[in-house]
């Protein structure tokens, strides 16, 4: 009985420490900017507030449970599906993953898993039906802006000859039927990485096969229309393709 009481005391102490660590993880992600890889910027403050509350609760309970006499610690009476220690182990595992494995932007494999391989990218994305921004200088349009524009006015001939400068990561879907074509892509998110959808355009570049998948490039060129897999498709005719570092905030919103 005494041993059981001791085990309960340690479970409750661990519980306090886990809450503190969980809050600490959220605050660390907020301070390091890593939240940009996981969630929409609208929810960054919400996550930071939750982190502060969890950490505050963790500090209070840690002081209570690590320094108070064990007899004063309440014994478990809550009906649970998972054993308390198992729940704590799962949370600790998640916290360890969060602290020791840095989140990375989603890769081209996930882009293909989410449909980039089946259709051309301009038919993907735009989960959020936001109005596209009117820009007189076509070089200021991002990949997502181009796709939104194209979805609003789908005739590709209307854009032929316009200058383009976009940034995105490379996907080699393997079904474009032309070794000088690759896809320049970006993920769009509405809420968090779980709903990320690929969006982008095919690019014609003579050395397309030498570009490394998932690496980010700055692409300059002009818009053209080509017949890709039997369909008339807007394509960027690249004139310059330069490697750039992965942006700190790689998703479009």
Partner 1 sequence: MDSSSVFLSPLWQDGITLFLGIVVEALPFLLLGVLLSGLISAFASERQLLRWLPQQAWLQSLAGGVLGFFFPVCECGNVAVARRLILKGMPPHVAISFLLAAPVFNPVVIVATWVAFRFQPEIVVYRVVLSLAIATVVGWMFSAQQELEPILQPSLLEQVRRNRAIERSESSASLLSGGTFVLGAKGNVRTAESVYAAAIAVPPLVGGRQRWRQLIDLWAAELRELGGILVLGAAIAAVLQTAVPRQWLLTYGQDPVSSIAVMLLLGALVSICSTVDSFFALAFVSTFTPGAILAFLVFGPMIDLKGIGLMLTAFKPRAIAYLCLLIAQFTFTAALLVNYYGS
Q: Closest distance between partner 1 and the C-beta of residue 239, in Å?
A: 29
Interaction with partner 1 in 130-189: which residues (CB under 8 A)?
none
Give the range of 96-104, 163-171, 172-180, 202-210 binding partner 1 by CB under 8 A: 96-104
With CB under 8 A as the contact rule, the residue among 2, 3, 4, 129 that binds partner 1 is 129
Q: In whole angstroms, give the CA distance from residue 149 to residue 152.
A: 5
State the number of binding residues for partner 1 (CB under 8 A).
63
Residues 99-128 within binding reach of partner 1 (CB under 8 A) = 101, 103-110, 112-115, 127-128
In whole angstroms, how close is the CB of 210 to partner 1 at the nearest point?
A: 19
- A 10 A CB-CB count for 15 gives 20
Structure tokens at 37: 């890889």
Query: CB of 193 within 8 A of CB of 39?
Result: yes
DSSP states along 108-158: HHHHIIIIITTS-GGGS---S-PPPPP-SSGGG--HHHHHHHHHHS--GGG
The CB-of-80 to partner 1 minimum distance in angstroms stands at: 5
Using rule CB under 8 A, residue 214 touches partner 1: yes
Here the tokens at position 185 are 């892509």
| Polymer length of the chain | 253
Q: Compute the distance between CA of residue 205 and CA of residue 216 in angstroms, rounded to an integer.
A: 15
Here the tokens at position 58 are: 């963790």
Residues of the shown chain interacting with partner 1 in the complex, contacts defined by CB under 8 A: 12, 15-16, 18-19, 22, 26, 29, 35, 37-39, 43, 46-47, 49-50, 53-54, 57, 60-61, 74, 76, 78-82, 84, 86-88, 90-91, 93-94, 97-98, 101, 103-110, 112-115, 127-129, 190-195, 197, 214
């Amino acid at each position: 009985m005494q041993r059981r009481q001791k085990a309960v005391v340690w479970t409750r102490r661990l519980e306090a420490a886990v809450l503190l660590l969980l809050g600490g993880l959220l605050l660390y992600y907020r301070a390091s900017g890593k939240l940009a890889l996981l969630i929409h910027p609208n929810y960054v403050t919400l996550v930071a507030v939750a982190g502060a509350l969890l950490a505050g609760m963790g500090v209070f309970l840690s002081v209570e449970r690590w320094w108070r006499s064990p007899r004063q610690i309440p014994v478990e009476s809550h009906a649970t599906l998972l054993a308390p220690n198992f729940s704590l182990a799962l949370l600790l595992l998640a916290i360890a993953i969060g602290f020791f494995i840095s989140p990375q932007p989603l890769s081209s494999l996930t882009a293909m898993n989410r449909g980039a391989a089946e259709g051309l990218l301009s038919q993907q994305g735009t989960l959020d039906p936001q109005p596209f921004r009117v820009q007189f200088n076509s070089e200021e349009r991002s990949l997502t802006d181009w796709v939104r524009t194209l979805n609003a006015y789908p005739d590709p001939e209307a854009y032929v000859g316009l200058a383009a400068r976009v940034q995105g990561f490379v996907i080699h879907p393997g079904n474009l039927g032309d070794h000088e074509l690759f896809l320049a892509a970006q993920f769009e998110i509405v809420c968090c990485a779980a709903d990320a959808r690929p969006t982008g355009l095919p690019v014609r570049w003579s050395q397309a096969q030498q570009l490394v998948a998932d690496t980010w490039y700055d692409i300059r060129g002009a818009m053209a229309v080509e017949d890709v897999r039997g369909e008339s498709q807007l394509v960027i005719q690249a004139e310059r393709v330069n490697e750039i570092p992965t942006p700190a905030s790689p998703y479009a919103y």
